[in-house]
Each structure stands twice: as structure tokens, then as C-alpha cells.
């Protein structure tokens, strides 16, 4: 399964910023973000996605890790 990190804005919109194949690595990435301080008015969430490699658009993502 593939996991994505999304940033959730106050108006309910979400934007995917990272994709990982390993859920634990995605959660550690969220922990690293929050270790810098909790951002005002946004939240970071990990969501499972079912996708094929052809579907993922890597150009709009800040990071992309298959490790």
C-alpha cells in the first residue's frame, strides 16, 4: 500500500505533499515536521492511497520516497 502525507488547511482542503511506500516512515516524517513546532492553522495527516506507479504525478510533490 502507498501512503501520502497531506497538509490540511482550515477550509478543509487538502494537498498531498509526499508519498511513501512505508507507513512508519511517513509517520516519522510527520513527527519531524511537528518537532519543529506546531504550525498555526494547518495539520499534517497520513492517508492510505491505492494507486499504480503510472498514476502518481511526481512533479507536484515536494518529496517522493519508495524506501
* Helix spans in the chain (H): 23-35
Coil, helix or strand at residue 50:
coil
* Residue 14 scores a pLDDT above 60: yes
The per-residue pLDDT for 38 is: 84
- pLDDT confidence tier of residue 54, bands split at 50, 70 and 90: very low
Q: Is the pTM of this model over 0.75?
A: no
Q: Other CB atoms closer than 10 Å to residue 45's CB: what's the count?
A: 12
Burial letters for 17-40: b for 16+ Cβ neighbours within 10 Å, e otherwise? bbbbeeeeebeebeeebeeeeeee
Q: 66: pLDDT confidence band, cut at 50, 70 and 90?
A: very low
40 — pLDDT class (breaks 50, 70, 90):
confident
Q: Does the pLDDT at position 27 exceed 90?
A: yes
57: phi then psi, degrees, rounded to nearest 5 = -100, 100
Amino acid at each position: 500500500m502507498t501512503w501520502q502525507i497531506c497538509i490540511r488547511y482550515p477550509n478543509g482542503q487538502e494537498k498531498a505533499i509526499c508519498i511513501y511506500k512505508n507507513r512508519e516512515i511517513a509517520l516519522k516524517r510527520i513527527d519531524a515536521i511537528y518537532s519543529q513546532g506546531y504550525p498555526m492553522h494547518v495539520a499534517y495527516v497520513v492517508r492510505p492511497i491505492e494507486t499504480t506507479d503510472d498514476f502518481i504525478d511526481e512533479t507536484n510533490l515536494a518529496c517522493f520516497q519508495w524506501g
